[in-house]
Chain A
Amino acid sequence: MTLANPADRGSASSSSGLAATLRHAKYVISENPVTGLAFGMFLVLIVAAAIGPYIVPYDPLASDTKAALQAPSWAHWFGTDQLGRDMFSRVIVATRLDMGIAIFSVALVFAAGGIAGIAAGFFGGWTDRIVGRISDTIMAFPLFVLAMGIVAALGNTVTNIVIATAIINFPLYVRVARAEAAIRRQSGFIQAARLTGNGEWRILLTQILPNILPIMMVQMSLTMGYAILNAAGLSFIGLGVRPPTPEWGIMVAEGSAFIVSGEWWIALFPGLALMFAVFCFNLLGDGLRDIVDPQRRT
């Protein structure tokens, strides 16, 4: 193991490898403009999440009852809500929380579900049976109801939203990883790795996992959008994030009461932000696979 790291770096040819990846990314984007659009949208989300709180024109929590329920104007681009808070500032600031929940839950489920699925497909037997039954049990519930139950039981915190979102996505990752690992279980290169003294867990992590990564990337990107919707949905029904924290789901929920009386902007703009994020991640999936998969490189 001590020898592994330097040699890995040596054979990966660090600088030229990065340049090649960038060149390839450029090719993929120019070949498929939709991928370029998706990456552009992703960049907007990242910027909003990273520096949003420092650039917004108003304090997202400061209420100003004099300016309550104003329609969109030059002063307030997205209008103001019932407490006079600037909707534009709130929508931008909420990006960090919503993205954070999505990224952490996807990372968690990728680690847990991905590894469990690969192990199930690679080892088969009892590992497969146990992992399979766990994911079947999760699948047996309506997923959103299950998420509600988990958050209600564990307590109303952001951490628990992350955990609940990860749990309901677990079967999806297990299925994909298991199927892909089972295909490769009998491959010659797995046998070859055994011959060169790799243990079973090392084969799983160093030989099979990199081969499954491209398809997992697509899966992650798709569930990312789903995770954002799920977190917003939980907040919408009053679980998880609590007011006055800016969060898209809560904002839609709060705004929904005012649509009937004609103040459409309070629900519309957070809703559009949600749509923007989910759409972005769904588009991103395919482009990401093209970049990560070396088979597509020539």
Chain B
Amino acid sequence: MHGVIDMTQATTLTPAEEARGPLLEVHHLTVEFATRKGIVTAVKQVDLTVRKGETLGIVGESGSGKSVTSYTLMRILDRAGRIAEGTITFSGIDVANATERTMRDLRGREISMIFQNPRAALNPIRKVGDQIGDVLLHHLQAEPRNVKAKVIEILEQVRIARPQERYHAYPFELSGGMCQRIVIALALACQPQLLIADEPTTGLDVTTQKAVMDLVTELTRARGMSTILITHDLGLAATYCDTVVVMEKGKVVETAPAEQIFRAPQHPYTQKLVRATPRPGIALSDLLPEAPAVPSPLPVGERSAPQAMGEGAQTSSQMPDPVHAAPLLKVENLLKEYPRQGVPMGFFAGLMGKKAPPEDALFRAVDGLSFEVKKGESVGLVGESGCGKSTTSTIVMRLIDATSGKITFDGMDIGAIPAKEFAHHPMRRRIQMVFQDPTDSLNPRYTAARAIADPLLRMGEQFGIRGAAQMRAKVEELATMAGLPLDLLDRFPHQLSGGQKARVGIARAIALKPDLVILDEPTAALDVSVQAVVLNLLEELKQTLGMSYLFVSHDLHVVRLLCDRVIVMRQGKMVEEGTSEQVLEAPKAAYTRELIAAIPHPPV
């Protein structure tokens, strides 16, 4: 299995030389892709150095070339991509020109990688223990007779509880964080010298993110390994890395020690990123650059006001005093039960002799939740995945029915109307939603204009729109409000960027002039700089149109920026409720404190 060539090459450096010299050196790396529109340069003249035991962070927004760089280091580019220029030297081996055989030995044993989506990186139909065992056997780190013992030892190292049992688990039986631990176990199985982590915690909860990142840091430190952490989150990189490299449009714009990147960013792009990162003690408008890149189409009186009031001022003070306003939405004792997954029910349960006790067969996604949203108020619903926040918002949205509980909207018991009939109910118009994934929430066969027009066609009687010209005018008006350039209206979703798709989603949600808009992590799929713009847009629209928001999110910092009040949820129950400042600065519940502590704290 072992290539003879690379073994000799790898041992040309003495251990002493290795310890001092750089483990990985990338010099003037340029990567090109052959596409339908000609050659696209994804990475331009990139220089990187990773010393032994160092953790390097590569930070950039989507399209900055950070992932392509890491794929090039592993030589796992698409067929269309090629290294046009530059050298990559990994402990004496010329990676750019090495044979495929040499690379095969290098991958996994010397350099390994953790991917963004742990579930996709694992084979869904094989036991996780066997998958780790494969790597050990392949790289001759274990014999068939002792492989199981070794795998269990590794599972213990990545802190998987009950490793004997979990050895036999399939990926779908494990949580996202657990799967990422398995992937880490896979990556570290052969004691590589370099670990490349490509957005290892995107899509994981903050507490899980902290656990996973702490684990990676601890394991790599203990082994004296080097790590390249690729992320879009400047805060995460600054917290866990020694050196941070900022990339923009395929170029490295800044390389600096982690302590300096937040304190004294040099390059304008880094400054913009630092500014756009939500952090304690700033107001919503602080996220934007001094001169807004996208001029707001609205007559904005509100935009400059919070700034004038000073740092940390409550944006809520601009609105009609929510304390005395009438409740728009009132949820009382909301309960939603689901049959528990994996519990055999009914006929087959009896057949297989696995009669589950009835109380175990039901899972309470939402467990007796009560809250209010007043007119003109923004309420944040915060919690980790599985806490029931999305179920709650979907019930309030009247897309699914609750098991029990009362939902009163503007004095009317809308919980009593079955979800199936609500689509044709006049109340439908007044509760709208902005979805989490802007790509998934737009029909790929509809143009932006058609998507925005859809609610008007179905429920827009009150606007009295007659004919195509009037409809077009109305759509253009909405697009302008959402800050979507009008020449993009005839494009299909796949021709739009993430931020533009988010604007289409927002324009669609406000088309019917709703009273309540549910924002389901509307910026989770967006880059920080786009997130900053979208959050400001949402705030402006709320001021102009006088809507109420129910903001569902896992990110307390983002919620604080937009919301007056925050509700923290866990396992379907409310853990804490209070104004944003109270909850963030003086959390009462232990769980809230845990959540806040888990947010990366970059050295400022």
Contact = CB atoms under 8 A, between A and B. Distances in A.
Interface of A: 3-4, 6-13, 187-189, 191-200, 207, 210-211, 213, 294-295, 297-298
Interface in B422-468: 423-424, 428-429, 431-433, 435-437, 440-447, 449-450, 453-460, 465-468
Query: What are the nearest 5 A-B pairs in CB distance?
Result: A10-B468, A188-B441, A196-B455, A197-B458, A188-B440
Interface residues of B, number: 49
B20 interface: no
Contacts of A11: 447, 449-450, 453, 468, 471-472, 475, 490
Interface centre among B424, B443, B495, B512 (most CB of A within 10 A): B443
Contacts of B399: 191, 194-195
B490 A189 contact: no
B445 A211 contact: yes
B162 interface: no
B494 interface: yes
A7 B457 contact: yes
B457 A194 contact: no
Given A7-B468, A10-B472, A199 B444 contact: no
Nearest to A189: B443
A295 B494 contact: yes
Contacts of B429: 197
A3 B495 CA distance: 27
A211 B444 CA distance: 7
A208 to B, nearest CB: 9
Contacts of B467: 6
B540 to A, nearest CB: 22
B469 interface: yes
A83 to B, nearest CB: 54
Contacts, number: 110
Contacts of A4: 457
B442 A189 contact: yes
Contacts of B397: 195
A282 to B, nearest CB: 26
Interface string B98-126: 00000000000000000000000000000
Contact of A192 (B37, B435, B459, B468): B435
Interface string B401-428: 0000000000000000000100110001
Nearest to B432: A195
Interface centre among A8, A189, A294, A295 (most CB of B within 10 A): A189
A294 B494 contact: yes
Contacts of B375: none
Contacts of A8: 450
B469 A10 contact: yes
Contacts of B454: 192-193, 196, 198
Nearest to A198: B458
Contacts of A192: 433, 435, 441-442, 454, 505, 508
Contacts of A9: 468
B229 to A, nearest CB: 30
Contact of A188 (B423, B428, B435, B494): B435
Nearest to A186: B440
B162 to A, nearest CB: 32
A191 B435 contact: yes
Contacts of B471: 3, 6-7, 10-11
Given A4-B457, A7-B457, A195 B444 contact: no
B492 interface: yes
B440 A3 contact: no
B324 interface: no
A218 to B, nearest CB: 16
Contacts of A200: 420, 423
Interface centre among B435, B450, B468 (most CB of A within 10 A): B468
19 contacts: A7-B453, A7-B468, A10-B468, A12-B447, A189-B446, A191-B399, A191-B441, A192-B454, A194-B399, A195-B428, A196-B455, A197-B424, A197-B455, A198-B423, A200-B420, A210-B445, A211-B444, A294-B445, A297-B492
Contacts of A10: 468-469, 471-472
A7 B511 CA distance: 15
B145 interface: no
A200 B418 CA distance: 14
B474 to A, nearest CB: 10
Contact of A294 (B423, B460, B492, B505): B492
Interface centre among B437, B441, B460, B511 (most CB of A within 10 A): B441
B465 A3 contact: yes
Given A7-B468, A192-B433, A197 B428 contact: yes
B79 interface: no
Nearest to B461: A3
B475 to A, nearest CB: 8
B322 to A, nearest CB: 25
A13 B446 CA distance: 12
Contacts of B443: 189, 193, 207, 210-211
Contacts of A191: 399, 433, 435, 441
A294 B325 CA distance: 48
Nearest to A7: B471
Contacts of B459: 196-197
